[in-house]
């Protein structure tokens, strides 16, 4: 199949899922074209059967807001036509599902039919999409996608309850491609962050308000008052400075390292002992899954799809949003009890294996077949 994948190229989970899906489809012999305004972070090496197409947004002094949607629609038109694509798969509804609809209409005008699969990831539904100024367009573009998928049951439910959706939504969970991760303990890297006495707690995110990075620092401070621990803060975003100031104010600058954006987090996960994810919203929590694949127990909130990934009392502990006391106490229990820690660590790895790529990839291929089937049915009805 010739598949066009549209995604955000940034450090967010939707771009990571889209890119790793593209690479996996290419490995299975499909021809994949990834379309984004920048090379996605995890598309960092040449992969056979994957071609990247950059969307260059037309600018002009008149535009306060350069029209990304228009440039993307024209890029889709071009790539579908000249690369003879069979299908478009867009990740994150806003504005990608809408743009795919526009491209589809433009192509239909030239006699080319292309089915569109839309994958809903999280804040496109739970936050941004709920803004009343864009809700009609989000609803419209979901209803006009040929096949719609959501990354968790919870996201599916929230989509159905928040928008007037007439479409069936298939749940296809996030996955982990174990072959892309090298969780090998690097002694020197470990020694770089600890004297050997301290355990390492890690947080990875794009530091947006929903991630509640200040909670990460406050939980760490509570744990630090009882145990020797260090904290690695990986990523960057609007709340980074707030978290840095908080650390300085609380006197933890020596114990907390802000490492910025790192493309391959596997080496850092491999030297860490505990993952913290106190998010306010998390439709799935891909990053928690990656930590679990590295056999790291997770302390997280119990919202959205996260509680299905990080299983309370098995792979880690979950709490209500903002319950910092409980999250800190749970972290202390785990880090101070070797037997408990090792059983959680092994459970985390076992549960992560349930999301192994070979189990999830066929679900996307089935979704593609369904979308293509609709197209052929539509044609035979003409
Ligand atoms: O930042 C992104 O690219 C998407 C981001 C979001 O905010 O929607 O992440 C979402 O998609 C991931 C991949 O499917 C999920 O694992 C994350 O849980 C989800 N984030 C939220 O729901 C906050």
> DSSP string of 56-98?
PPP--TT-SS--HHHHHHHHHHHHHHHTT-SEEEEESHHHHHH
pLDDT tens-digit map of 38-88: 999 989 877 889 999 999 998 899 999 999 999 999 999 999 999 999 999
CA gap 255, 198 in Å, rounded: 10
Query: Residue 183 Cα, ligand 1 centroid: separation in angstroms?
Result: 23
- pLDDT for the residue numbered 353: 98
Ligand 1 lining (C-beta closer than 6 Å)? 8, 12-15, 17, 121-124, 126, 151, 174, 206, 210, 281-286
Query: Residue 151 Cα, ligand 1 centroid: separation in angstroms?
Result: 9
pLDDT at residue 177 greater than cutoff 90: yes
Task: Report which protein residue has its CA nearest ligand 1's atom 14.
Answer: 121
The candidate with the shortest Cα–Cα distance to 328, out of 187, 197, 224, is 224
Could you identify the atom of ligand 1 that is nearest to the CA of residue 17? Answer: 13
- pLDDT for the residue numbered 375: 77
Select from 16, 18, 122 the residue to mutate for testing ligand 1; criterion: most ligand atoms less than 8 Å from CB: 122
> The tokens 């975003």 sit on which residue?
237
pLDDT at residue 380 greater than cutoff 60: no
CA 240 to chain centre: 19
Task: Report which protein residue has its CA nearest ligand 1's atom 9.
Answer: 13
Q: Rg (Cα) of the chain, in Å, rounded? A: 22
Averaged pLDDT for residues 8-12:
91
- pLDDT for the residue numbered 382: 46
Could you identify the atom of ligand 1 that is nearest to the CA of residue 14? Answer: 3
Run of H or E residues at 170: strand 169-171
- pLDDT for the residue numbered 361: 98
Averaged pLDDT for residues 127-138:
94
Task: Report which protein residue has its CA nearest ligand 1's atom 23.
Answer: 282
CA gap 17, 150 in Å, rounded: 12
pLDDT tens-digit map of 229-272: 999 999 999 999 999 999 999 999 999 999 999 988 999 999 99
Query: Residue 382 Cα, ligand 1 centroid: separation in angstroms?
Result: 39
Domains and CATH numbers, the chain: 2-175+357-380 (3.40.50.2000), 178-353 (3.40.50.2000)
């Amino acid at each position: 199949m010739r598949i066009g994948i549209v995604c955000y190229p940034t450090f967010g989970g939707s771009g990571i899922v889209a890119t790793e899906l593209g690479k996996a489809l290419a490995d299975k012999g499909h021809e994949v074209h990834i379309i984004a305004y920048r090379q996605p972070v995890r598309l960092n090496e040449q992969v056979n059967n994957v071609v990247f197409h950059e969307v260059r947004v037309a600018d002009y002094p008149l535009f306060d807001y350069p029209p990304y949607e228009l440039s993307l629609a024209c890029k889709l038109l071009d790539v579908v036509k000249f690369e003879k694509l069979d299908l478009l798969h867009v990740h994150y509804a806003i504005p990608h599902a809408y743009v795919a609809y526009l491209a589809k209409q433009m192509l239909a005008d030239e006699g080319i039919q292309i089915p569109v699969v839309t994958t809903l990831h999280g804040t496109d539904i739970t936050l941004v999409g709920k803004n009343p100024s864009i809700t009609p367009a989000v609803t419209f573009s979901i209803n006009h996608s040929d096949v719609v998928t959501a990354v968790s049951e919870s996201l599916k439910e929230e989509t159905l309850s928040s928008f007037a959706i007439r479409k069936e939504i298939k749940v296809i969970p996030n996955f982990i491609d174990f072959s892309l991760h090298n969780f090998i303990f690097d002694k020197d890297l470990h020694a770089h962050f600890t004297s050997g006495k301290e355990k390492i707690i890690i947080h990875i995110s794009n530091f947006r308000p929903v991630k509640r990075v200040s909670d990460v620092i406050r939980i760490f401070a509570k744990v630090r008052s009882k145990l020797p621990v260090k904290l690695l803060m990986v990523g960057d975003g609007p709340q980074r400075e707030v978290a840095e100031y908080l650390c300085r104010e609380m006197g933890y600058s020596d114990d907390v390292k802000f490492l910025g954006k790192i493309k391959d987090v596997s080496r850092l996960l491999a030297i860490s002992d505990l993952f913290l994810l106190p998010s306010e919203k998390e439709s799935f929590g891909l990053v928690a899954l990656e930590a679990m694949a590295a056999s790291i127990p997770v302390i997280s909130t119990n919202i959205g799809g996260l509680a299905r990934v990080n299983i309370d009392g098995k792979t880690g502990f979950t709490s209500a949003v903002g319950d910092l006391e409980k999250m800190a106490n749970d972290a202390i229990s785990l880090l101070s009890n070797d037997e408990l820690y090792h059983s959680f660590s092994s459970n985390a790895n076992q549960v992560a294996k349930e999301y192994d790529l070979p189990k999830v990839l066929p679900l996307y291929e089935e979704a593609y077949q369904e979308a293509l089937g609709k197209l052929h049915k539509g044609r035979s009805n003409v």
